[in-house]
Chain A
Amino acid sequence: MADSSKPKLQVSAIRNGTVIDHVPAKHLFKVIAILGLDKITTQITFGTNLESKKLGHKAIIKLSEVFFKDEDINKIALIAPHAKLNIIKNFKVTEKSEVQVPEKIKGIAKCGNPNCITNNDHVNTAFYVLPKDKEKVALKCHYCEKITDPEDMEVF
């Protein structure tokens, strides 16, 4: 039975830090890898498979005492283009923003082409981010010029 009074699932609040909302649930672990959250020592809480009208299932990440530079957080736009950021200071949201798709990304993902120089020699990867359609982007390898779909990309 639908019950509008049912309390929403709450992930515990943080005093200072960043909340990343509207991450597609299926890409949560990629987002963790891209942002290097596995190396962070402050408190992090994750919620995943939460219901979302827009995404079906979404994930939310709350990071205590962590603030990102734009160039770092924008890397997740490849797989989480609708992600929203809330900056929390003293339990209050002081700033809201959305991720922006970068023009070029360096060194976070593998090129999907096995015959690419970056998969065969010590060469860091670099991609141009091209708009594919309204919702999606494609990654064009700076070296081999082949297209990698962010959905299939392997994160280092």
Chain B
Amino acid sequence: MKDKSLISIDDYSKADIINTLDRAEDFERNPHQPLLEGKVIASLFFEPSTRTRLSFESAISRLGGKVIGFASKDSSSVQKGESLKDTIKTVNNYCDLIIMRHPLEGSARYASEVADVPVINAGDGANQHPTQTLLDLYSIRQTQGKLDDLNLFLVGDLKYGRTVHSLLMAMSNFNTTYHFVSPPELRVPEEYKMFLKEKKLKFHEHTDFTDIISDADIIYMTRIQRERFSDPMEYEKTKNSYVLRNSMLEGTKDNLRILHPLPRVNEIHDDVDENKKAYYFPQALNGVYTRMAIMSSILGL
């Protein structure tokens, strides 16, 4: 993984994934390792994402590195119409690694082709957000003690949700049984179902979110966004049918954990927060360890 950009989760083999998770586990046990001392990391956020940016910057600080960059397009020269290539070509003179968030799909792959230093994709439009996927995998392994042979429930917007697609692909390395729970208009795209069929992995599609969760090991909740619906009434109705409440967790497996990429709107009711099966806040902390692992592996440290 040394010197290799991380743009799409497909860039990492099963072995790369496992190495990264092992490394993250080491950082969780011993977070004080100043491996990035003397290194400069550029954090280029062409669109704001406070959560992801802070997670990366926290990981860099814990490793003793320095951050340069910008938090939104308004504070950068991009505003003046500079091409992405010129921005990257300039910035890579000042740093050892680039972390980039950009609203256009494919921007991170392109940046990695013009940059002389490795690039980590922190989200390119609706396409990929591989560090989120790795922290999701870390949380799954941490709570289940393994990644193999799990029943994974994905709930909400399964059509446009990029975190869902990347997680689905990454988990296909581990003999997962999938359950897709979504309104009919937000079903998993055909290409992903074809992929699972080819890999001979089981998947089930549901439109009702009820007692089907009794054999779940992981429930991964996602936000249903208003802009996906042309009819606002349809949105209101739909969004309220895919809400997880504490009462629904009765009779579920002990090892079940609830994950969510955050931020949430109303899809997980507040009364779930106190349940020990709620795991979305520790999941966010895992993002820091995972990103420490990814950055130090890429820099060969």
Contact = CB atoms under 8 A, between A and B. Distances in A.
Chain A bound to chain B = yes
B126 A117 contact: no
Interface string A79-117: 000000000000000000000000000000001010111
A128 B141 CA distance: 33
Interface string A38-69: 00000000000000000000000000000000
Interface stretch (A7-15, A21-29, A136-144): A136-144
A121 B85 contact: yes
Interface string B105-127: 11101100000000000001111
A155 interface: no
Nearest to A145: B127
Contacts of B125: 115, 144
A48 to B, nearest CB: 34
Interface residues of B, number: 17
A145 B128 contact: yes
Contacts, number: 52
A118 interface: yes
Contacts of A141: 106
B8 interface: yes
A122 to B, nearest CB: 6
Contacts of B107: 117, 121, 143
B115 to A, nearest CB: 14
A121 B105 contact: no
B84 interface: yes
A143 B109 contact: yes
B84 A144 contact: no
A147 interface: yes
Contact of A117 (B110, B128, B191): B110
A16 to B, nearest CB: 42
B127 A121 contact: no
A117 B83 contact: no
Given A113-B105, A144-B125, A122 B110 contact: no
B262 interface: no
Contacts of B8: 145
A136 to B, nearest CB: 13
Nearest to A142: B109
A120 interface: yes
Most buried by B among A111, A122, A143, A146: A143
Nearest to A130: B191
Given A144-B125, A144-B127, A145-B127, A117 B85 contact: no
Given A143-B109, A147-B191, A120 B128 contact: no
B299 to A, nearest CB: 25
Given A121-B83, A121-B84, A115 B109 contact: no
8 contacts: A111-B106, A117-B124, A121-B84, A121-B85, A121-B104, A122-B83, A143-B107, A146-B127
Given A115-B105, A121-B85, 7 more contacts: A116-B104, A117-B84, A142-B106, A143-B106, A144-B106, A145-B105, A147-B191
Interface of B: 8, 83-85, 103-107, 109-110, 124-128, 191
